[in-house]
Amino acid sequence: MANPSLLILAGDGIGPEVMDEVKKIITWFDAQGIVSFDVSEGLVGGCSYDAHGTPLTDETMARALEADAVLLGAVGGPKYDKLDFSVKPERGLLRLRKEMDLFSNLRPAQCFDALADFSSLKREVVAGLDIVIVRELTSGVYFGEPRGIFVEGNERVGINTQRYTESEIARVARSAFELARKRSNKVCSMEKANVMESGILWREVVQEIHDKEYPDVALTHMYADNGAMQLCRWPKQFDVIVTDNLFGDILSDMAAMLTGSLGMLPSASLGLPMENGRPKALYEPVHGSAPDITGMGKANPIACILSFAMALRYSFSLGDEASRVEKAVEKVLADGVRTADLMGPEGGSPVSTGQMGDAIIAAMQASL
Ligand code: NAD
């Protein structure tokens, strides 16, 4: 049987640096005879614009649609800030998400015990935190029409449209309920039904899907602004949070701070199953291309490595191997291995991106 296929799109800035550490782990799995992937690589974002004049070629898009999973580093950077909107690096990522129909974005926020003191919140608030934000990814205000900057009378007006269909809400609700059944059977849905019609529909549809298909899961609803407050106040009250594209973008970045560093946060974006039963899927760290530290060996590769662990679990049903990676991360952090972003005010000597990757592989080796 052919090996499962992985398309690696490392992208810009620190993307290739953190992805190098994932490649080491893929090589390790292969060398141990545990699992081998057919790995191919491509360009996305600014590097694709430099090579081809577009942030994503049709050819790379087609390969992404065929791959069993796509791993992405990060896109963007100041060099591309003045480009026309249509060819900005982020358009490459948005096209991947849209054409792969990756409507369900899973963003775990997990606080490793060794890092509980690095959060901006008190240890007791974050220690042991393990929540997942499920963000709708292919619709809502980032895609709705009409959009643009228009002239009305003697001034310009900027317009974006929040638009959700019932089926778009239903499918992301289902993915949150399915995930909850594998965890603590608890979902909190967040919107602004008090001021937005799309929020009223969101609340109604999530409730209907719950009542018809997932009555065993405990469902609560919360306004997204209150949700933001509650996430700061007592995040452990949540397990799975499901929300729309815009609120999910903001709430998941906030959840990032709960765990101490953006460099720790992985994500998975899942679509409908392909013919082989695997969901269309793209895995990427939540962080961006970090131009301020690019090329300095300072990037924390853990978010990208944990994204690969999510690929093992969600695309390849290799839950034990995903846990092996996650436990190795936990072990090196407990041993005090830190990249610069994880150093406390008392300082110390941080390891480089490559040294962090090597330490994680050594911990995986020790786990055999
Ligand atoms: P960013 O996530 O790149 O960086 C924010 C801060 O976090 C920076 O100080 C950075 O050094 C730090 N940081 C991020 N990742 C880190 C890591 N792995 N290890 C250590 N420190 C890390 O966000 P930004 O500065 O707002 O954006 C920079 C560029 O990235 C922009 O062009 C933006 O459009 C793009 N971006 C891309 C994505 C993506 O590819 N998914 C996401 C967000 C931003």
Helix (H) or strand (E) holding 46: helix 46-52
Mean pLDDT throughout 55-64?
98
Region 324-345 average pLDDT = 91
Q: Look up residue 5 and give its two tokens.
A: 């296929």
Would you say the CB of residue 266 lies under 6 angstroms from ligand 1? no
First CA to last CA across the chain, in angstroms?
26
* Three-state DSSP state, 178: helix
pLDDT attached to residue 278: 86
What single DSSP character describes residue 4? P
Instruction: For residue 146, say if its preceding peptide bond is cis, omega within 30 degrees of 0.
Output: yes
Instruction: Tell me if residue 80 is catalytic.
Output: no
Q: How many helices (H) and strands (E) does the chain have?
A: 12, 12
Verify whether ligand 1 is closer than 6 Å to residue 290 (CB atom). Answer: yes
Using only C-alpha atoms, the chain has a radius of gyration, in whole angstroms, of 20
Report which of residues 255 and 89 the model is more confident about.
89
Given a cut of 90, whether residue 282 has pLDDT beyond it is: yes
Could you tell me if 231 and 82 are in contact, meaning their C-beta atoms sit under 8 angstroms apart? no
**Distance, CA of 19 to CA of 322 (rounded, Å):** 17
- pLDDT at residue 114 greater than cutoff 90: no
* Strand ranges, E, within 227-363: 240-243, 266-273, 279-285
Residue 185 CA, ligand 1 centroid: distance in Å? 33
Instruction: Catalytic residue, from 98, 253, 327, 358: name it.
Output: 253
* Residue that has been written with the tokens 């001021």 in this structure: 195
Which numbered atom of ligand 1 lies nearest the CA of 285? 41
Is the Cβ atom of 74 under 6 angstroms away from ligand 1? yes
Report whether pLDDT(118) > 90: no
Phi, psi of 366 (to 5 degrees): -65, -20
Rounded to the nearest 5 percent, the helix, strand and coil shares of the chain are: 45, 20, 30
Domains detected in the chain: 1-111+261-368 (3.40.718.10), 130-258 (3.40.718.10)
Check whether 346 has a pLDDT greater than 80: no
The closest-lying atom of ligand 1 relative to the alpha carbon of residue 80 is 32
Q: Is pLDDT at 297 greater than 90 in this prediction?
A: yes
Residue 288 and residue 76 in contact, taking contact as beta carbons nearer than 8 Å = yes
What would the mean pLDDT of 54-65 be, rounded to a whole number? Answer: 98
Residue nearest to atom 20 of ligand 1 (CA): 299
At 214-273, the pLDDT tens digits run 999 999 999 999 999 999 999 999 999 999 999 999 998 888 778 767 888 899 999 988
Residue 213 has pLDDT above 80, yes or no: yes
Told to judge if 142 belongs to the known catalytic residues of this protein, a careful annotator would answer yes
93-107, 222-236, 248-262, 330-344: the lowest-pLDDT one: 248-262
Window from 115-119, 122-126, 167-171, 221-225 with minimum mean pLDDT: 115-119
Instruction: Output the average pLDDT for the chain.
Output: 94
- In the numeric block, which tokens belong to residue 308? 């690969």
Span 132-162, pLDDT tens digits: 999 999 999 999 999 999 999 999 999 999 9
Q: Report the alpha-carbon distance of residue 273 to residue 271 in Å, rounded.
A: 7
Task: Tell me the β-bridge partners of 283.
Answer: 71, 268
Q: For residue 34, what pLDDT is reported?
A: 95
Structure confidence at residue 175 (pLDDT): 92
Percentage of residues in the chain having pLDDT higher than 90: 83
For the ranges 47-51, 105-109, 121-125, 342-346, the one whose mean pLDDT is highest: 47-51
Distance 252 CA to ligand 1 centre (A): 14
Structure confidence at residue 323 (pLDDT): 93
For the segment 189-215, the average pLDDT, to the nearest whole number, is: 98
The protein residue whose alpha carbon is closest to atom 6 in ligand 1 is 290
The letter for the amino acid at 127 is A
* pLDDT given at position 308: 98
User: Which tokens hold the place of 327?
Assistant: 């436990």
| Active-site residue, selected from the candidate residues 24, 98, 142, 186 | 142
The closest alpha carbon to 138, from 187, 171, 179, 176, belongs to 171
